[in-house]
Structure 1
Amino acid sequence: MTYELSEDQRQIQELVRRVAREKVAARAAQIDRDAAYPHDMFELLKGLGMFTLPFPEEYGGTGSLLSACIAVEEFGRVCYNTAYLLVVQWVPFGAILAGGTAEQKQRWLPGLAQGELRGALALTESQSGSDVSGIKTHARKDGDGYVLNGSKIWCSNSPLADFILVAAKTLDEAGQPLGINLFIVEKGSPGLTIGKEEDKMGARGVPSCPLFFDSVRLPESARLGTEGGAGFKVAMEALNSSRPIIAARAIGIAQGAIDHSIEFVANRTAFGQKISDFQGVRWMLADMAMKTEAARQLVYRTATMADAGVSGKTLAPMAAMAKCHASDVAMQVATDAVQLFGAAGISAEYPINRYFRDAKVVQIIEGTNQIQRNIIADSLLGRVARS
């Protein structure tokens, strides 16, 4: 399967690239330095209609995951955190779109698409990061609803979210397990406590916090999908199809690191010549560009597969390859970029420091690269893929 950017996608690329350079780039360093949520960038994305991008036309979108990847790459090229604002909005949107009832879609999706509402997803627990099946948070049936107890960590966007999708083991009234479901927990629900923001190495503009659930009462309408885990599987498929978007963030980091490196070496001299004239430096830049372009092709191809309706066991290993390879490349390229900057590369006064830290984050979030390799290997060996 091949891809070619449509005229609409090229226009999106040109628009986002221009906006990123003219309105976003100047804010990137301050967002990272202050670790403060960029409300102005959220309003910018909202005004541009970016939140709707990958979703059906009925929500104002293009129905194209590739278009979403292009936007995330271009924003991530200058500011990881601005690109991150799109991702944290799209993941809960995608999960509800895939597994929600008609009533849930009508209540939450228009607001998410227009930027009037914000969401978050809570999967990770202290004893089970990559192992989603090992979560201990549980929702026990109680009359016509559920009682939710447990805790989560690293829930990005939670302090600003109007609702949080919470993964929990569903129990019957006798405490017997029924499976895993996602539950919609609204902001301000009695018994929900949002803990202190983490002081993160990268991705500092979007807060990540622990969550605590102390007998949070939920109506049956808060459950996403059918009881017993089927709804969770649908949501996991939505997350699986979003992995190319995560990979696109890595491509943005890599390309941005290359951009800064070229500018730096082209304007420095050593031993009577430009640094960019040294063969060793030129070859480093060439390798950085080759790796990034190869990763970009993989990400775009995977997004094109998703747009063509490929899903499940066929899409899973490709999505894992895209996320894993792209984020590994971002780390390699950012590392080489720091080397090219020399002593300046380890100074917080230069932007490449930020790209290096954000690259490491992408190797870990949304399923570590070790987990992605497990998914790929399971596919090769005919085993059941892991999320």
Structure 2
Amino acid sequence: MSNPNIKNKVCLSEEQRQRLKDISRNGTAPVKKVLHARVLLMADQEHPEGRWTDAQISEALGLHVNTIANIRKRFVCAGEVPALERCPRLTPPTPPKLDGEKHAHLVAICCSEAPTGRVRWTLSLLVNELKQRGIVTEISRETVRQSPKKNELRPWKKQRYCIAEKDTARFIAQMEEVLDVYTTPYNPEEPLICMDEAVVELQADVVPSLALEPGQDAKEDYHYDRRGTRPVFLFIDPFRGWRRVKSYEHRTRIEWAHEIRHVLDVEYPNVRKVKLVCDNLNTHHIGSLYETFPAEEAHRLARRLEIHYTPRNGSWLNIAEIELSVLHQQCLDRRIPDEVTLEKELQAWQQERNQSHAQVKWQFSTEDARIKLHHLYPQF
């Protein structure tokens, strides 16, 4: 029998009663939500066995009578959902150490230069810096650690890659010039030659290496004797499948000029002109010929040389870089003790590649560049 003087009577509709039964039976709802659903079902004025009193519900479910009264009150005053769910907090139980303004200060410190004598900001340095600037009086390292993580800041990491040229118009102009040279039909009277340089570090074993054996990998001691470096010049004719590799003691204008004269007078003595693609290094210039040879000789060589420079930070456009990668993988990826061994290995590799007429098939065209690198082109 229902008590007419009771406050906050629970009167469930048939739909509400069915929803609460489903919640209390499905076994997947949170425990607190299930208990609140059972409280409402028991306190229902239309309960088949009669309404349960708060004391009876408390004894059956192990809840305090005040909790049961509060559930009924929220149901009557706010509705079904607030009575079942926990009321979300608008603010955390304790105020955060870093509010929006202080958090912005921390992010700014993380993105600034590290203190003198330090490579990067550490958690301890950030904590001390926040205190020294008066942003906080006390803060833990864990609180500081979580803040950069939320903003995807990783001060301990640094990516190294080729940063794009700021003058994009100049970049694409030189790029399209090189790409036009690559797509020009092959002319035996004006062959295309690409050149690039690399530095090889000479290293000798301190302890003899152990050779490969069945069931045992080759072993190499991590100690080695460093014996200087040797610059390597590489010239390649991608259409003909010819290349030349030569190492020197130094890498100056003189070495570059002698290599150019060798290509023009020994390898291509009868052609009208050689189109040379190279990067814009200060030694790769007609002036190097005049610095090395008499003016008449330098002028003669310069008239047969047409230089096309790859753009700054665009050396990937040089076919010679591809061949240098092959050279490293097939020949130089090991310890070479001296210049005699280096020259011997380079000549053996060069002879094998030339005999097989290994060519480089360049497929990146100007049309491809305007699609894939459209963000570099000025917009009109």
TM-score by length of 2: 0.26
Which has a greater percent of helix?
Answer: 1
Which structure has the greater CA radius of gyration? 2
Which has a greater percent of strand?
Answer: 1
TM-score by length of 1: 0.25
